[in-house]
């Protein structure tokens, strides 16, 4: 099978989750600038409306549709997906970008908290892919993007739910890519590092952790690690789509841990802790994760 040609944005229809802020917001603008019609999903109605109004003002010739939906609500997501298919029978790009964070050691997380992360970060992308794949098949040269994480490459303590969801999304994406290559559909997995978004301030913490001062201190510490510009990260994702890259790592905070994990597959966390002890301690804190997307409440 010959490699897929470059993805063509102009005239296509892109479905994007988590479009109200962070990387998702910048990708929405980038897609519009490249000529894509948009179907934007997010939980935050006000932020989503603001993003949409700006895009419509700048690109009045494009069709921009929005869906306010909580990706943790499986029934609501099914309804939204069916409506998307009805209104947009031809879809050329699906970007599963939305994600949520939940800090806490495994024994501190309730079953509901753990499952909430899995529903949003893993089940929602799988559900949307299942619903929209027929439409993608009808558009030769279409593409699927799943935004995993730095923590889909390495697994720090204190992030068992988040890591589980992002490793699962990575595995799903790789299997899907191998299955769809012969159907002329590309699949890209994205692993962002320390991207400057709202995730530190909006992430949830296990309810069993009662120390509010410790929670806030941890959020502030991790927030300092989020330095990579979200607009630059979004641009790299779009370039990866255009070039049909199977994997996009964003920032040295993703590239270096990936390299260390490949060289030291069973002891990489000890190596990373010795290299940057203060950073890894903060990364394993209870409050949040030092990476990728917009805040958990604004993104889905």
Residues marked as catalytic: 162
> Helices 45-58 and 22-33: crossing angle, nearest 10°?
20
DSSP state of 42: E
212 CB burial (10 A radius; 0-12, 13-18, 19+): exposed
At 298, is the secondary structure helix, strand, or coil?
coil
CB 251 within 8 Å of CB 195: yes
Structure tokens, 192 = 């962002």
The number of beta carbons lying within 10 Å of the beta carbon of residue 199 is 28
Q: Rounded distance, CA 106 to CA 203, Å?
A: 16
Q: What is the largest CA-CA distance in the chain?
A: 56
| Main-chain dihedrals φ then ψ at residue 178, nearest 5 degrees | -65, -35
Q: How many helices (H) and strands (E) does the chain have?
A: 12, 11
Length of the chain: 300
């Amino acid at each position: 099978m010959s490699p897929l040609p470059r993805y063509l944005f102009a005239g296509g229809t892109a479905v994007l989750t988590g479009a109200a802020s962070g990387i998702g917001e910048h990708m929405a603008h980038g897609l519009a600038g490249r000529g894509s019609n948009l179907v934007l999903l997010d939980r935050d109605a006000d932020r989503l409306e603001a993003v949409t109004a700006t895009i419509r003002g700048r690109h009045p010739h494009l069709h921009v549709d929005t869906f306010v939906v909580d990706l943790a609500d499986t029934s609501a997501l099914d309804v939204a997906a069916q409506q998307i298919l009805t209104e947009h029978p031809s879809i050329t790009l699906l970007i599963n970008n939305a994600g949520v964070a939940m800090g806490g050691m495994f024994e501190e997380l309730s079953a509901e908290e753990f499952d909430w992360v899995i529903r949003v970060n893993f089940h929602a992308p799988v559900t949307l892919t299942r619903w929209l794949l027929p439409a993608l098949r009808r558009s030769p040269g279409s593409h699927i993007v799943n935004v995993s994480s730095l923590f889909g490459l390495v697994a720090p303590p204190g992030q068992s739910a988040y890591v589980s969801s992002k490793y699962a999304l990575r595995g799903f994406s790789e299997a899907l890519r191998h299955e769809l290559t012969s159907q002329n559909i590309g699949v890209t997995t994205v692993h962002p590092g320390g991207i400057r978004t709202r995730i530190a301030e909006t992430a949830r913490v296990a309810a069993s952790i009662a120390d509010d001062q410790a929670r806030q201190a941890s959020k502030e510490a991790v927030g300092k690690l989020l330095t990579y510009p979200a607009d630059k990260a979004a641009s790299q994702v779009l370039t990866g789509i255009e070039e049909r890259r199977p994997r996009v790592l964003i920032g040295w905070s993703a590239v270096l841990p990936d390299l260390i994990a490949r060289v030291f597959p069973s002891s990489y966390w000890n190596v990373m802790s010795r290299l940057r002890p203060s950073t890894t301690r903060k990364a394993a804190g209870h409050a949040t994760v030092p990476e990728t997307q917009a805040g958990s409440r604004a993104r889905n």
